[in-house]
Each structure stands twice: as C-alpha cells, then as structure tokens.
Amino acid sequence: MYTRIKKNNDFQKLFSRGKKCFSPALILLYLPAKKTALGVCVSKKHGKSVRRNRIKRLLREAFRKQMPYLKGSYAVILIPKQAQEYTLQGFEKSIASALKREGLLQ
C-alpha cells in the first residue's frame, strides 16, 4: 500500500524538485522516496466538488493498480489535464505509459 501526501510542504518539495513526465491525460511529478506516497492535485477548472472528488478517486485507483509494477518507491503527484470525460482505463493507460517512459515500471 502507499501513503498519501497531505502536507503543503511535501507538495511544494515535489513541485520544486520533482521530475515531470507528461502523458495525454495527466502530468506526473515524482521523486525517489523511502516509502511510496501519492498526492493528487485537481483544480477547480475541472468542475464542482463532486466531479473533482470522482477524478481523485479514479486517479488513486489507477495508481493503486500500477503500484505493484513500480521498480522502487517514489513520491508521486498526479495532475489530470482537462477533458470532457474521465475514465479509469484512460488514467491507467496514461499512468502506465508515463511511468514506462521514465523507466520506473518493471
């Protein structure tokens, strides 16, 4: 399992020092860490709170499915790009492609 990134200080550290990786549906920021951690940033541009919370749930689930294939432990922030529709399969493919491109997946 992974821990959640909740503190503003941790988010700021990843935003300033983290490596960025882009995919069609999202932006992924990561840094090596002692334990795998995940943070999700969904802005108000994505809609009202119900829609933003759904996007967050989809992102967490997509990351959870990809987590067993990670080569090490990383602190990761996922930032979705704006789209008409968000699907679990779309996020899974985007996370997998971004992590493969960076060489983080087995």
For the segment 2-43, what is each residue's pLDDT rounded down to a tens digit?
A: 899 999 999 999 999 999 999 989 999 999 999 999 999 999
Q: What is the CATH number of the domain that holds 86?
A: 3.30.230.10
Rg of the chain over Cα atoms, rounded to whole angstroms, equals: 13
**Among 88, 34, 32, 33, which Cα is nearest to 60's?**
88
Count of structural domains within the chain: 1
pTM: 0.94
CB 10 within 8 A of CB 48: no
Range of the domain at 26: 3-102
Other C-beta atoms lying within 10 Å of the C-beta of residue 27: 16
Q: Please say if the pLDDT value at position 106 is more than 90.
A: no
